[in-house]
């Protein structure tokens, strides 16, 4: 895997940032969906949560800490979202480790550990979820550097959030004593408590929220996994042995063996290893973290970290209110108005609107479950869908027709493809289009159009220096996104 150049300092600790980038964030529906989950959303600033996590991780360097290019572990379906957001940041990736199916965080970390050792090194892995926010980066960096130095000696280090309320939505870490030492021995992990128990933890002290941020050497993780869950290690190693690396793109995609990875047991880092470590031969310590951390697990958590006006309202987008308090409004496309309401969450998107009692934010997941059961697209896709070549927005549809607005990036192209059930009409509204239709090639510009007959092999490309925009009108008996046969594709998406 590629490494950065030595900066000239006397560096002793090589760290490998690992960004765990799975999950669908269903409690933040309708903004977060399976096809565009919350880690790729900009909820607390200009950058997405994923971008913030990457930036925090690569900022952990010091005179004695060398930072390698980060790894991300994500699903096949999100690889281009991650790659595009990294391109926007101008950050080079060590590798994108693509899980064929989700198997929770323990196999994900195992892939990263195996990748980190592939070039003969044994770096300290700095493992962080991609869907958290931290208000104070400086207050984050210093404890993380302390954790890195501790882990370099062979210890497992977990970051514990200093609690400020009796929270029932997090697991807790209990440490031995409460003497304020920078890295204290972990006594045990405890499950999400009741409200009464959470208050007792707060009163007693010595209990911290489990942030899911881990720091440990690659070899230590693999040894601990061999001890506590050898089945996960064995099956993940087999999948890693069948990996395929696609290095033709700017981001090196690494795919473990699909069939082998499907047999890997699904388990979290905590259940597989961490909860077994206290009292074992694997030393485990905790470093406290007080940096304005939040996992943004539901809309009430988003409200809590956003700036608010004097009435306690946090509003994004085009919002007007009168006599309303403690509300969260996210308006994506239209004006949203509130009159005389309190403690509401209102999230407006182009194809769905959520209205919820802020104290019931966790229950949004039940709406997503209903959408899934009804096989409705709103559970997974937005009206505007991002693709590696650009995006499309389904602006209208009816019986036997669909209208899309499509944007293609400069130099990008869609796959060479055909459809069994639909024909397409294309009107160029901006830029230049290079169109393949059967054995013909066309070069069209603004206000020109063409027709793609049903079953004809075709391709759309942008040879220009500005984004290409077209209006596509589909007509036919079936207009689903799965009516596509790809013959050639720059993004590895050809049909088997």
Count the Cβ atoms, other than its own, within 10 Å of residue 311.
12
334 has pLDDT over 80:
yes
- The pLDDT value recorded for residue 30 is 96
Mean pLDDT over 296-316 rounds to: 95
215 has pLDDT over 80:
yes
- The pLDDT value recorded for residue 182 is 72
pLDDT in tens, 443-460: 999 999 999 999 999 999
178 has pLDDT over 80:
no
Average pLDDT, the chain: 92
44 has pLDDT over 50:
yes
248 has pLDDT over 90:
no
Task: State CA 33 to chain mean position distance.
Answer: 11
Residue % of the chain over a pLDDT of 70: 95
d(CA 436, CA 418) in angstroms, rounded, equals: 11
Mean pLDDT over 372-392 rounds to: 90
pLDDT in tens, 84-93: 899 899 999 9
pLDDT band at 181 (very low <50, low <70, confident <90, very high): low
pLDDT in tens, 50-62: 999 999 999 999 9
Please give the biggest Cα pair distance in the chain. 77
- The pLDDT value recorded for residue 5 is 37
Name which of 264, 284, 262 is nearest 273 in CA terms.
284
1 has pLDDT over 80:
no
pLDDT band at 6 (very low <50, low <70, confident <90, very high): very low
pLDDT band at 493 (very low <50, low <70, confident <90, very high): low
Mean pLDDT over 149-160 rounds to: 95
Residue-range domain boundaries for the chain = 13-294, 300-370, 384-488
With beta carbons less than 8 A apart as the criterion, state whether 115 and 254 touch: yes
- The pLDDT value recorded for residue 251 is 74
Name which of 213, 285, 223 is nearest 60 in CA terms.
213
Mean pLDDT over 99-126 rounds to: 96
d(CA 186, CA 175) in angstroms, rounded, equals: 4
- The pLDDT value recorded for residue 179 is 56
Between 143-152, 216-225, 275-284, 379-388, the lowest mean confidence (pLDDT) is in 379-388
pLDDT band at 28 (very low <50, low <70, confident <90, very high): very high
pLDDT band at 176 (very low <50, low <70, confident <90, very high): confident
Cβ-count burial of 239 within 10 angstroms (0-12 exposed, 13-18 middle, 19+ buried)? buried
User: And the tokens for 350?
Assistant: 């182009």
- The pLDDT value recorded for residue 325 is 98
User: And the tokens for 414?
Assistant: 């869609």
d(CA 255, CA 327) in angstroms, rounded, equals: 43
Residue % of the chain over a pLDDT of 90: 83
Name which of 353, 354, 352, 325 is nearest 338 in CA terms.
325
The class that CATH gives domain 384-488 is: mainly beta
* SS3 letters across 144-163: HHHHHHHHCCCCEEEEEECC
- The pLDDT value recorded for residue 8 is 38
Which stretch of DSSP H or E encloses residue 302?
Answer: helix 299-305
d(CA 274, CA 189) in angstroms, rounded, equals: 8
- The pLDDT value recorded for residue 7 is 37
Three-state SS for 261? helix
Alpha helices in 335-466 (DSSP H): 364-373
- What CATH number matches the domain at 13-294, 3.90.550.10, 3.40.47.10, 3.90.950.20, 3.90.1640.10? 3.90.550.10
């Amino acid at each position: 895997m590629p490494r950065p150049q030595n900066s000239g300092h006397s560096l002793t600790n090589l760290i490998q940032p690992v960004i765990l980038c799975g999950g669908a964030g269903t409690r933040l529906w309708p903004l977060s969906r399976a096809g565009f989950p919350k880690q790729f959303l900009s909820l607390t600033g200009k950058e997405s949560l994923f971008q913030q996590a990457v930036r925090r991780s690569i900022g952990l360097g010091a005179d004695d800490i060398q930072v390698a290019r980060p790894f991300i572990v994500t699903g096949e379906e999100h690889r281009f979202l991650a790659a595009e957001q990294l391109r926007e940041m101008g950050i080079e990736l060590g590798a994108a480790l693509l899980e064929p199916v989700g198997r929770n965080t323990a196999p994900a970390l195992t892939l990263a550990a195996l990748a980190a050792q592939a070039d003969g090194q044994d770096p300290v892995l700095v493992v962080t979820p991609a869907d958290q926010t931290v208000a104070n980066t400086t207050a984050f960096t210093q404890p993380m550097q302390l954790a890195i130095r501790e882990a370099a000696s062979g210890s497992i280090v977990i970051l514990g959030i200093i609690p400020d309320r009796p929270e029932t939505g997090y697991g807790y870490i209990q440490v031995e004593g409460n003497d304020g030492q920078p890295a204290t021995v972990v006594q045990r992990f405890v499950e999400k408590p009741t409200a009464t128990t959470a208050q007792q933890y707060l009163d007693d002290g010595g209990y911290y929220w489990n942030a899911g941020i881990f720091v440990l050497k690659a070899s230590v993780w693999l040894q601990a996994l061999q001890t506590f869950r050898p089945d996960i290690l064995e099956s993940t190693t087999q999948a890693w042995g069948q990996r395929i690396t696609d290095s033709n793109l700017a981001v090196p995609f690494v795919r473990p063996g699909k069939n082998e990875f499907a047999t890997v047991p699904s388990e979290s880092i905590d259940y597989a290893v961490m909860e077994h470590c206290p009292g074992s031969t694997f030393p485990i310590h905790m470093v406290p973290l007080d940096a304005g951390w939040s996992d943004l697990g539901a809309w009430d958590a988003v409200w809590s970290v956003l700036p608010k006006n004097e009435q306690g309202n946090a509003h994004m987008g085009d919002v007007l209110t009168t006599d309303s308090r403690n509300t969260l409004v996210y308006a994506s496309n239209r004006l949203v108005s509130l009159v005389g309401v309190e403690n509401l969450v209102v999230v407006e998107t182009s194809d769905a609107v959520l209205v919820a009692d802020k104290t019931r934010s966790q229950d949004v997941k039940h709406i997503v479950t209903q959408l899934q059961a009804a096989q409705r697209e709103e559970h997974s896709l937005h009206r505007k869908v991002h693709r590696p070549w650009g995006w499309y927005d389904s602006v209208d549809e009816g019986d036997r027709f669909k209208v899309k607005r499509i944007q293609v990036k400069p130099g990008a192209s869609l796959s060479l493809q055909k459809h069994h059930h639909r024909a397409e009409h294309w009107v160029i509204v901006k830029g230049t289009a290079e169109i393949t239709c059967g054995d013909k090639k066309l070069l069209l510009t603004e206000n020109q159009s063409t027709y793609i007959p049903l079953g004809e092999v075709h391709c759309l490309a942008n040879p220009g220096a500005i984004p290409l925009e077209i209006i596509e009108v589909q007509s036919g008996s079936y207009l689903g996104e799965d009516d596509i046969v790809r013959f050639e594709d720059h993004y590895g998406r050809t049909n088997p």
